Amino acid sequence: MLALSPGPDGSGALAGRRVVITGLGVVASCGVGTEAFWQGLLEEPPVGRERPVVGFDASHLFGPKEVRRADRFLQMAVTAADEAVRGAGGIEALRGDPERAGSYIGTGVGGFQTLCEQDRILLEKGPSRVSPFLVPGMMCNRASAEISMRFGLRGPCECTVTACAAGTQSIANAARLIATGRCEVMVAGGSEAPICELGVAGFTNMTALTRSGISKPFDVARDGFVLGEGAGAVVLEERSRALARGAHIYAEVAGAASTADAHHVTAPAPDGGGATRCMELALADAQISASEVTHINAHGTSTPLNDAAEAEAIHKAFGSPGPAVTSIKGVIGHTLAAAGAIEVVAVALSIQHHLIPPTAGTTNVDPSCEIDVVTGGPRDWVPGPVVSNSFGFGGHNGSIVIVPPE
């Protein structure tokens, strides 16, 4: 298998440059750090329309003055990236040529909390009291830039802003930079901190949030998502380089794809056509057949339209019953642009533990969703190829294929 090799449409990357994951980092409501996060995925989540990361503190990475100026999305991104880099052996062992090492962190709303806070100050105290740190604090590219500066990564430093598909697409885009030979190392992922009064009001008034306080992906009684926050980060390396330095390899990025529904700004295409094509292109990129896929980490937001469209897309691409499907949003809520990155971390940990976490909150799978949803408890699993999906407002679709290390 050649990772990210040319697909049927001529896209894809240089054959022979395989991309592996050598570091993992995560901040989520069920746990900060990979060990706590994994344990949290196997436990019952709380009830409520929001999934904040309670007690989160990044002052050890920023210092008392700097942390007050750093938006929460930035603090979470740096925390996840720091864990991933340390887990990959530390920056001095990892980075190599800094011109061939970079960062790629996606977000949807960036420094949203900074923007909201400074808007309040403007209204209450006037323009002269608005912080000079407003603009750098709210920039969507701030997390990627900060990680670049902290670790001395002087290669590509980029940010994908494709709503809830951004985390998946950032990792895929970073992997292509390695597969094409531009880079040797990338720190990639996604971060989002949308839980504030304005954010909750916006999602509530568009009727996207659950009324029951329970996320129920693919359940017949699903009624909207739980709003989450968090960050996920991975260290990507060219495989032979990782092997040469004796790095632990969690998984391999075998392929990826993105498409657009071209349908509606918030609603997915009801037939799942764009999502189906995205998964099929990702499998073609990985040179893997649908029958080889053993697990799908679904976008699975718990909204009526999204879950129906994704289930239809999975059914079209893989048949019935198809691979085992889970959505970790039943535990962590929908973390928007961070979701795909956190889910790639979850997939890597599933491979490591030979276990698929259950879809928490789901007790009665909608009979119209003709897919094999993992419910009731974790499922033992012999690791094989995995597809992880992310679909965002605007019709953005992203799929990435992760396979166990050889």
Q: What is the mean pLDDT of residues 290-296?
A: 97
Residue 14 counted as domain residue: no
Residue 2 counted as domain residue: no
Residue 356 counted as domain residue: yes
pLDDT at 335: 98
- Report the Cα 189 to chain-centroid distance in Å: 6
Element (H, E) at 278: helix 273-286
Residue 164: active-site member: yes
Instruction: Point out the catalytic residue in the list 140, 159, 183, 334.
Output: 334
Residue 71 counted as domain residue: yes
Is pLDDT above 80 for 270? yes
On the CB side of 237, CA atoms within 13 Å amount to: 29
pLDDT at 320: 87
**What is the pairing mode between strands 227-228 and 50-51?**
parallel
pLDDT at 249: 98
Give the predicted TM-score (pTM) of the model: 0.95
Residue 1 counted as domain residue: no
Q: Report the residue count for the chain.
A: 406
Give the mean pLDDT of the chain.
94
Residue 315: active-site member: no
Instruction: Point out the catalytic residue in the list 30, 183, 278, 299.
Output: 299
Q: How many folded domains does the chain comprise?
A: 1
Query: CA 67, CA 57: separation in Å to the nearest integer?
Result: 9
Residue 11 counted as domain residue: no
CATH of the domain at 103: 3.40.47.10
Q: Per-residue confidence at 16, pLDDT binned at 50, 70, 90?
A: low
Q: How many CB atoms are closer than 10 A to CB 61?
A: 15
Is pLDDT above 90 for 204? yes
pLDDT at 333: 97
Is pLDDT above 70 for 4? no
Q: Per-residue confidence at 6, pLDDT binned at 50, 70, 90?
A: very low
Domain that holds residue 31: 19-397
Query: CA 195, CA 300: separation in Å to the nearest integer?
Result: 20
Q: What is the mean pLDDT of residues 212-239?
A: 97
Is pLDDT above 70 for 348? yes
Instruction: Point out the catalytic residue in the list 30, 140, 159, 164.
Output: 164
Residue 60: active-site member: no
Residue 39 counted as domain residue: yes
Residue 208 counted as domain residue: yes
pLDDT at 65: 87
| Long-range pairs for 361-365: beta carbons < 8 A, 24 or more residues apart | 361/45, 361/214, 361/215, 361/216, 361/217, 361/219, 361/302, 361/330, 362/216, 362/217, 362/218, 362/219, 362/222, 362/327, 362/330, 363/216, 363/219, 364/219, 364/220, 364/221, 365/218, 365/219, 365/220
